[in-house]
Structure 1
Amino acid sequence: MLLIANNFPPIRGGSASVYAALARHAGGRIGVLASRLNYVDGLPIIGWREHDRLAPYPVQRLALLRTTLAEQPPRGLRRLGFLARDAMLRLRVATAILGHVARGSRTLCIGELLASSWVVALFRWLPGLRLVAYVHGEEITTSPEADAVQRTGRRTLARCDAIVVVSRFTLAAVEQLLGSAARSRLCLIENGVDTGRFTPGPRQPALMGFYGLEGCFVFVSVCRLVEKKGIDHSIRAFAEVVRTRPDCRYLVVGTGAQAEELRALAAEMGVADKVVFAGEVSEEELVAHYRLGDVFVMPNRRLANGDTEGFGLVFLEANGCGLPVVAGRDGGSTDAVKDEVNGLVVNGHAVADIAGAMARLHDDRALYERIRLQALEVAQRAGWEGKARAFLALCGVEEEPGAVKAAPGSGALPAGNAATPHRGPDRSPV
């Protein structure tokens, strides 16, 4: 099968990590069509050659799979030039897809619902080709032009043979968009975690010294610094917590549009000397930064325009490293985090709730240890092997002879058979 993904490593992000994990655990049965330029700004993606050379799956790169965000359709005569360039881009993408079909690909999976809608519209006419969409949630719940986006999303999903959703939140959003008739084509495959990589381990003394965290209880966040992640409220909550718990520090890992605003907020709250902004760290250093923390904090919240967290892969990564988490209850994060099981779920709009959860995990050692151990168990059950098998089964890709069966509960949800589609709310989760 062929996975078409604008967001793909070495680009960082949740969906990129998901697609790479599926391909990595598919035994070479997933090929990837990706870009070598970043569609956000049109600049070269640093490290793509090294990534592809080491990847255990085939990757084909084109310059772009879609027009860049910076190049919006202009008006007047300039629009003709834009449309001509877009047509040539689509022609190159379509030619590459046809090449994969000629070499045996019988399933196309689009990783970006809206940007790749034309792929579905074009290739649905090709006999014997199965079309699958991978939906994370925000692509159909967020837009300044929601009606137009929903029309495009609805039309594209209606043309697909199967639809993967990553959380019950996303499942409900798709059902609301398409109606109950779409249930037979829906398959819930929750995001997983690389259980061989995200594991508990000692804190690196050099990093502890570099960030000034020796002897401290460390709250840590690893995410893009954008409003829906809730790091602004985390800083406000931390300011309340550290007032009576001077041993606490807050390590913020990541970059984003809010970075400078968050630095200013930490200064305004009087905790600039206790909040450490690490910026973006390399993939090689990511696990080591998780391990610096005692508690992972990302109190995500839904924004006024509908933007929210589709699942929250970072919660499981933190769990795998042995960290209890504090999560918001909006969006799909409650599929990743169960309250008082692998973390504490709070109202991400309420600073007092966030501060209360952070304080509980600092003060109540018994609660902390219980959730920490349960978090490790949750992460272990969320390995990618079974989820990749569920995805391949949904896509009609045959399992290799002698393949090891997935552990119960590691594949598609809710179903005992990983390829069984969702049939409505009467089914219980595995």
Structure 2
Amino acid sequence: MRTLVVTNDFPPRQGGIQTFVAALLARRPPESLVVLASRSPGWEAHDAALPYEVVRHPTGVLLPTPGVARAAAGLARRHGCDTAFFGAAAPLGLLAPVLRDAGVRRLVGATHGHETGWVALPGARQVLRRIASGLDVLTYISDYTRGRLAPALGAVTRMAQLSPGVDVDRFTPAADGVAVRERYGLGRGPVVVCVSRLVPRKGQDVLVAAWPRVLARHPGARLLLVGGGPLEGRLRRAVAEHGLGRSVVLAGPVPPERLPEHYAAGDAFAMPCRTRRGGLDVEGLGMVYLEAAACGRPVVAGTSGGAPETVREGVTGHVVADPRSPQEVAAVLTGLLDDPERARRMGAAGRAWVEQRWSWTSVAAAFAGLLTP
């Protein structure tokens, strides 16, 4: 069985979908894969190190254009692909009829989080229904996203859960955060870390607003914000205005291979995500919570979308009831920092839960089953 993977979201471009797709493919037999992807800086060196073939269309964004359709159909015929996987079903799933004509017998498309916004808009909802009707399986990442998608799409195709997984051999309590603490001068006091893009939905602005209240109880505490994005300038101004320059560190983005040590630098992980724009800007799941838990850290999540599904409330961490409230976020954080032993128990419980429920071993097996005609 040979699978054609058609995806705009693929390394070395960074992002959650890119990581998800690459991790799925890393657990498939290399000889069973051929990938059609867009180009991004560094793609030549990246692809040369892969054990399967990657064909880069000469564009920075892969869209269902006639040129991309011809390229995908040509690859399917040349390699005898009987299955196809769309790394993000919208909009590339529109290529499904072309691939069926090229001999592909089974088509699977993945959804992530942004599609929940599509189904809220009449025109986009019709496009998504058209995409789903051309697929044998449409996957969803969380119960939340299924709840948003199924009323509009469930009757036109089969839906199956395919959540991202965690590499439990890489994200582990054995990860060493000492060098990260030294690099940023975090000291020996308690550290709260957030790893994510700096955008309003993720809640770094609320963390900064809550931080003076945390410092009132834990003067030696530090907040480490890892990631880049459009909110960075505003966050830096807020840090300066509140006189938090010594206790809040914006580290910028870091390479994926260095994420475990950044999680390990914290005593707790927090990303109080919130839904915005009338439900159009929502957290589909939130892999960072699971990666932090795999590193043995208690997690603090917001209520947006599927984020609460990554936390066993009171066991592996907490979901802040109002993630827009600096007071509530501060109260949850100080509660964890007040009781380090309880925080450690939560971290251990989180690690055990990720091993049981969220490891790539189980996700890869589910993916293999979906590809089987």
Fold conserved (TM > 0.5)?
yes
Aligned pair 1:334/2:308, yes or no? Answer: yes
Which amino acid in the other structure matches residue 51 of structure 1?
Answer: H
**What is the CA distance between 1:319 and its match in structure 2?**
1.2
**What is the CA distance between 1:316 and its match in structure 2?**
1.1
Larger mean CA deviation between 295-304 and 24-33 belongs to 24-33
CA contact (8 A) 1:62 1:93 kept: no
Aligned pair 1:104/2:80, yes or no? Answer: yes
C-alpha change, 1:126 and 1:173, in structure 2 (3 Å) is: farther
Larger mean CA deviation between 100-109 and 124-133 belongs to 124-133
Aligned pair 1:53/2:48, yes or no? Answer: yes
Out of 192, 197, 201, the residue aligned to residue 165 of structure 2 is: 192
Larger mean CA deviation between 148-157 and 96-105 belongs to 96-105
1:96-118 deviations in whole A, cap 9, x for unaligned?
44323431211122123333143
Residues of 2 paired with 1:54 and 1:126: CA distance? 29
RMSD: 2.2
Secondary structure at the residue paired with 2:18?
A: helix
In the alignment, what sits opposite 2:204?
Answer: 231
Secondary structure at the residue paired with 1:393?
A: helix
In the alignment, what sits opposite 1:138?
Answer: 114
Aligned pair 1:246/2:241, yes or no? Answer: no
Out of 176, 182, 190, the residue aligned to residue 209 of structure 1 is: 182
Aligned pair 1:15/2:17, yes or no? Answer: yes
CA contact (8 A) 2:72 2:99 kept: no
In the alignment, what sits opposite 2:318?
Answer: 344
Aligned pair 1:95/2:71, yes or no? Answer: yes
CA contact (8 A) 2:283 2:305 kept: yes
Residues of 1 paired with 2:316 and 2:192: CA distance? 16
1:303-345 deviations in whole A, cap 9, x for unaligned?
0242111111111111111111100122011222221222211
Which amino acid in the other structure matches residue 383 of structure 1?
Answer: S
Q: Any residues of structure 2 matched to 1:227-376 within 5 Å, and which? A: 227-305=200-278, 306-347=280-321, 348-376=323-351
1:117-143 deviations in whole A, cap 9, x for unaligned?
431243344555212110012223159
In the alignment, what sits opposite 1:157?
Answer: 132
Residues of 2 paired with 1:286 and 1:366: CA distance? 24
Larger mean CA deviation between 203-212 and 364-373 belongs to 203-212
1:344-394 deviations in whole A, cap 9, x for unaligned?
111322222211111111012332122111011122222112211211211
CA contact (8 A) 1:142 1:307 kept: no
**Structure 2 length as normaliser, TM-score?**
0.91
In the alignment, what sits opposite 2:195?
Answer: 222
Residues of 1 paired with 2:68 and 2:151: CA distance? 35
Residues of 1 paired with 2:206 and 2:177: CA distance? 28
When you count helix as a share of all residues, which structure comes out higher?
A: 2
Which amino acid in the other structure matches residue 366 of structure 1?
Answer: E
Which amino acid in the other structure matches residue 7 of structure 2?
Answer: A
1:33-52 deviations in whole A, cap 9, x for unaligned?
2112xxxxxxxx23322322
In the alignment, what sits opposite 1:170?
Answer: 145
C-alpha change, 1:124 and 1:173, in structure 2 (3 Å) is: farther
Aligned pair 1:395/2:371, yes or no? Answer: yes
CA contact (8 A) 2:4 2:75 kept: no
Residues of 2 paired with 1:65 and 1:4: CA distance? 14
Which amino acid in the other structure matches residue 158 of structure 1?
Answer: S
1:379-410 deviations in whole A, cap 9, x for unaligned?
2222112211211211216xxxxxxxxxxxxx
C-alpha change, 1:116 and 1:202, in structure 2 (3 Å) is: closer
Secondary structure at the residue paired with 1:114?
A: helix
**What is the CA distance between 1:65 and its match in structure 2?**
7.0
Aligned pair 1:114/2:77, yes or no? Answer: no
CA contact (8 A) 1:124 1:159 kept: no
CA contact (8 A) 1:325 1:343 kept: yes
In the alignment, what sits opposite 1:34?
Answer: 37
**What is the CA distance between 1:243 and its match in structure 2?**
2.0
C-alpha change, 1:67 and 1:376, in structure 2 (3 Å) is: closer
**What is the CA distance between 1:168 and its match in structure 2?**
0.5
Which amino acid in the other structure matches residue 161 of structure 1?
Answer: D
CA contact (8 A) 2:76 2:102 kept: no
Which amino acid in the other structure matches residue 245 of structure 2?
Answer: A
Residues of 2 paired with 1:202 and 1:121: CA distance? 46
C-alpha change, 1:23 and 1:271, in structure 2 (3 Å) is: same
Q: Any residues of structure 2 matched to 1:120-131 within 5 Å, and which? A: 120-126=96-102, 128-131=104-107
How many residue pairs get matched?
A: 367
1:125-179 deviations in whole A, cap 9, x for unaligned?
4555212110012223159x92221121122112211111110011111112225
In the alignment, what sits opposite 1:83?
Answer: none
CA contact (8 A) 2:88 2:112 kept: no
Which amino acid in the other structure matches residue 46 of structure 1?
Answer: P
Query: Structure 1 vs Structure 2: percent identity of aligned residues?
Result: 34
